[in-house]
């Protein structure tokens, strides 16, 4: 029988009348491992000492603080079960809500306190000091909430232990390598049937921070790793593909899945691998000067990106994705699922007027059977505090429900916005592929000289396409219109003049170098793989970029590059390899 179930049975049988405990004051400063039992805080002095210890550098392990609600004799959260599950990876402390918890609250930074029956885990890294949400409060309103909250606090403790590096230096003699097959997933645990018999578990918190277990393993997957004989935990961290190996198969032009780490007005940061972040500037995200990038993306969202460079650094863009792009996302573990998948498209519900919400009269007060009432001997001041805490619990529960509804509405609104943005980009692509727009026709006779006319159209396209704030970093480079270029442009059919002008702008600003659609490459002497590039006597090298794709007659632009100067040579078909 698992340890958790054994403890539960002993409690039911009355064999375990109270959790084993030690005093916080009795914990020697020289102790190198968490206390084996639950630590009890009895006095304000002990609470202040606990706060001082949590705020001191050099603490060796995470601490889970469980509080006793006012008027209760024991915490709603089963601290003994939590300690059994945490083991030597963390400390569990119990503290009453009284002058003791107020002393603790006074000594702690704002919004990092815990009291009133809630629990909280304080990590070693102390990120929670400046960001209290890094250490979330876990609420229990009655003993019935204990299983859920114990699981939450256990997950928080394990994640904190992993961040603290408590599992990195495991003694190799205390664990042995074992292999097995994943039988299935239950919440944040995967059950593994070992080859030699018996079972083990994989804990999500002890794999990759911020990654759900279903992104790593699936039923039927062979798995190997060190096994802790006491906890029966199978450690798979060393089998997870590092970023360099994971991205080795990527090439320029590939379309890949990434998840959004963060976004601001001018850029979005994405993760192609859990341990790698790539910043994508706005001009590689959208060409709409009115767009703010942080309004287009939400942290945690899975999106498509195109690879534009690999090597010492991975570079991506988001504005050059075909509607039917093929995506193949590798697994983080051999035989595992793709670690990212696109969400299934949601059918938009008919838009109806939002009903005006009436006051929440339908939320009943917490059942009297699940919230302890005040003792008969409680004096007036304490009774007032009790009722105040009770009201706060009801208010918190209502606020949590309201927050859930707001998040659901926000997610729906973001989905609609992204669909509208995708539609805009699709229409924009179709518009670019149409014959020259009326705006271009209006200026078709602006100059009698064909070269002057072309230069005017290039300048106009650059002014139209490049946002004002990006013009200084994307200027039109110096260029020459070659002796055969204007004639080849006039003779070209099957592609609009406006499209040619836009591609010339991309070449002159350098955008073509990062575009998988343009596929810039040297024009070589022959089709042999390592043949030299075509080069003139003055040192200029001939380049070739795509104007169209996927047909023998697809048009290409040939140009010579000498230093920073571009000489436009000819518009040719795909099979024409002459400069």
The answer to whether position 337 is within a domain reads: no
Given CA atoms 436, 440, 446, 447 in this order, what sign does their dihedral have?
Answer: negative
Given CA atoms 409, 410, 411, 415 in this order, what sign does their dihedral have?
Answer: positive
Q: What is the pLDDT of residues 478-503, one digit of tens each?
A: 999 999 999 999 988 888 888 899 99
Q: What is the pLDDT of residues 62-71, one digit of tens each?
A: 999 999 999 8
Burial class (CB in 10 A: 0-12, 13-18, 19+), 517: middle
Last residue of a domain, one of 239, 255, 279: 239
State whether 40 and 154 are in the same domain: yes
Mean pLDDT over each residue of the chain, to the nearest integer: 80
The answer to whether position 329 is within a domain reads: no
Lowest-pLDDT choice from 238-247, 306-315, 522-531: 522-531
Residue 392: its pLDDT value, please? 65
C-alpha–C-alpha distance, residues 568 and 482, integer Å? 5
The answer to whether residues 543 and 569 touch, using CB atoms and an 8 Å cutoff, is no
The answer to whether position 324 is within a domain reads: no
Given CA atoms 154, 160, 166, 168 in this order, what sign does their dihedral have?
Answer: positive
Whole-number CA gyration radius for the chain: 32
State whether 212 and 274 are in the same domain: no
Q: Which two tokens stand for residue 97?
A: 């809500």
Mean pLDDT of 514-532: 76
Strands 267-273 and 91-96, how do they pair?
Answer: unpaired
Last residue of a domain, one of 317, 352, 377: 317
Lowest-pLDDT choice from 275-279, 455-459, 517-521: 517-521
Residue 244: its pLDDT value, please? 85
Residue 357: its pLDDT value, please? 54
Residue 78: its pLDDT value, please? 95
Task: Compute the CA torsion angle 54, 57, 61, 67 (nearest 10 deg).
Answer: 0
Helix or strand or coil: residue 201? strand
Question: Which CATH number does the domain housing residue 287 bear?
Answer: 2.40.50.140
Residue 529: its pLDDT value, please? 56
233 closest CA partner among 88, 81, 125, 93: 88
State whether 423 and 512 are in the same domain: no
C-alpha–C-alpha distance, residues 64 and 85, integer Å? 12
Residue 30: its pLDDT value, please? 46
State whether 116 and 30 are in the same domain: yes
C-alpha–C-alpha distance, residues 431 and 428, integer Å? 5
The answer to whether position 332 is within a domain reads: no
Strand runs (DSSP E) across 236-326, as ranges?
255-263, 267-273, 276-281, 302-309, 315-317
Instruction: Residue 472: give the domain boundaries.
Output: 439-573
Mean pLDDT of 512-522: 80
Q: Is residue 527 over pLDDT 80?
A: no
Q: How many domains does the chain have?
A: 5
Mean pLDDT of 190-207: 87
Give the DSSP H/E element, type plus range, for residue 224: strand 222-227
Q: 202-206, 481-485, 518-522 — which one is most confidently predicted on average?
A: 481-485
State whether 141 and 8 are in the same domain: yes
Mean pLDDT of 372-386: 51
State whether 302 and 156 are in the same domain: no
Q: CA–CA distance from 128 to each of 89, 122, 160, 479, 547 (Å)?
A: 19, 7, 11, 56, 53
The answer to whether residues 128 and 134 touch, using CB atoms and an 8 Å cutoff, is yes
The answer to whether position 295 is within a domain reads: yes
Residue 237: its pLDDT value, please? 86
State whether 223 and 260 are in the same domain: no
Last residue of a domain, one of 379, 406, 433: 433
Backbone angles phi, psi at 143, to 5 degrees: -60, -25
Burial class (CB in 10 A: 0-12, 13-18, 19+), 358: exposed
The reported pTM is: 0.49
Residue 23: its pLDDT value, please? 47
The answer to whether position 331 is within a domain reads: no
Q: Is residue 153 over pLDDT 90?
A: yes
State whether 510 and 399 are in the same domain: no
284 closest CA partner among 324, 315, 327, 328: 315
pLDDT band with cut points at 50, 70 and 90 for residue 296:
confident
Q: What is the pLDDT of residues 11-55, one digit of tens each?
A: 333 333 344 444 444 344 446 789 999 999 999 999 999 999 999
Residue 95: its pLDDT value, please? 96
The answer to whether position 169 is within a domain reads: no
Mean pLDDT of 117-139: 91
State whether 227 and 258 are in the same domain: no
State whether 144 and 36 are in the same domain: yes
Question: Which CATH number does the domain housing residue 567 bear?
Answer: 3.30.2310.20
390: left (phi over 0), alpha (psi -120 to 50) or beta: alpha
Residue 507: its pLDDT value, please? 93
The answer to whether position 399 is within a domain reads: yes
Please calculate the CA angle 174-179-182 and round it to the nearest 5 degrees: 120
Q: 114-118, 130-134, 161-165, 438-442 — which one is most confidently predicted on average?
A: 114-118
Mean pLDDT of 150-159: 88
Residue 298: its pLDDT value, please? 85
Which positions ≥6 away from 511 have C-beta within 8 Å?
A: 474, 505
Q: What is the pLDDT of residues 419-437, one digit of tens each?
A: 676 666 666 655 554 544 4
Mean pLDDT of 86-115: 92
pLDDT band with cut points at 50, 70 and 90 for residue 344:
low
State whether 86 and 211 are in the same domain: no
State whether 43 and 125 are in the same domain: yes
66 closest CA partner among 88, 45, 90, 89: 90
C-alpha–C-alpha distance, residues 545 and 538, integer Å? 22
């Amino acid at each position: 029988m698992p340890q958790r179930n054994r403890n539960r049975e002993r409690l039911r049988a009355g064999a375990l009348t109270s959790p084993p405990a030690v005093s916080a004051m009795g914990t020697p400063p020289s102790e190198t491992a968490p206390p084996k039992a639950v630590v009890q805080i009895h006095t304000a002095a002990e609470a202040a000492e606990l706060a001082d210890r949590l705020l001191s550098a050099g603490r060796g392990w995470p601490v889970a603080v469980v509080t006793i609600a006012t008027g209760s004799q024991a915490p709603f959260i089963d601290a003994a079960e939590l300690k059994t599950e945490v083991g030597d990876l963390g400390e569990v402390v119990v503290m009453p809500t009284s002058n003791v918890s107020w002393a603790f609250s006074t000594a702690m930074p704002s919004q990092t306190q815990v009291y009133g029956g809630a629990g909280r885990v304080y990590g070693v890294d102390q990120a929670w000091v400046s960001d209290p949400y890094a250490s979330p409060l876990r609420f229990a309103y009655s003993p019935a909430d204990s299983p859920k909250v114990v699981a939450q606090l256990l997950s928080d403790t394990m994640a904190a232990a992993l961040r603290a590096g408590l599992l990195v230096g495991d003694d190799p003699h205390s664990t042995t390598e074992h292999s097995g097959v994943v039988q299935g997933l239950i919440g944040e645990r995967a059950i593994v049937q070992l080859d030699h018999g018996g079972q083990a578990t994989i804990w999500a918190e002890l794999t990759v921070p911020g990654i759900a277990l279903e992104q790593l393993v699936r039923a039927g997957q062979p798995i190997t790793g060190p096994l802790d004989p006491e906890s029966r935990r199978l450690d798979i961290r060393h089998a997870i593909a590092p970023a360099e190996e994971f991205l080795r198969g990527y090439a320029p032009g590939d379309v890949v899945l990434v998840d959004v780490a963060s976004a601001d007005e001018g850029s979005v940061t994405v993760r192609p691998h859990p341990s790698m972040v790539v910043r994508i500037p706005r001009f590689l995200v959208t060409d709409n000067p009115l767009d703010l990038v942080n309004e287009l993306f939400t942290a945690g969202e899975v999106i498509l990106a195109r690879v534009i460079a690999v090597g010492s650094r991975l570079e991506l863009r988001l504005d050059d994705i075909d509607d039917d792009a093929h995506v193949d996302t590798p697994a983080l573990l051999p035989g595992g699922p793709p670690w990212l998948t696109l969400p299934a498209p949601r059918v938009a519900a008919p838009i109806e007027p939002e009903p005006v919400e009436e006051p929440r009269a339908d939320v009943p007060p917490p059942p009297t059977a699940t919230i302890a009432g005040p003792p008969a001997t409680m004096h007036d001041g304490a009774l007032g505090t009790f009722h105040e805490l009770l009201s706060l619990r009801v208010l918190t529960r209502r606020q949590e429900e309201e927050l859930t509804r707001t998040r659901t509405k926000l997610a729906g609104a973001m989905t609609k916005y992204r669909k509208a943005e995708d539609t805009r980009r699709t229409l924009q692509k179709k518009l670019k592929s149409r014959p020259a727009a009326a705006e271009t026709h209006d200026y078709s006779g602006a100059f009698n000289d064909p070269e002057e006319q072309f230069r005017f159209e290039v300048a106009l396209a650059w002014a139209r396409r490049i946002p004002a704030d990006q013009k200084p970093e994307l200027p039109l480079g110096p260029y020459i219109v070659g002796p055969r270029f204007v004639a080849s442009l006039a003779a070209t059919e099957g592609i609009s003049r406006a499209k040619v002008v836009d591609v010339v702008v991309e070449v002159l600003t350098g955008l073509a170098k990062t575009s998988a659609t343009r596929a810039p490459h040297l024009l070589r002497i022959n089709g042999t793989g390592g043949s030299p590039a075509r080069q003139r006597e003055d040192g200029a090298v001939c380049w070739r970029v795509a104007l169209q794709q996927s047909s023998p007659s697809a048009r290409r632009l040939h140009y010579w590059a000498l230093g920073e100067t571009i000489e436009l040579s000819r518009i040719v078909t795909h099979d024409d390899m002459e400069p």
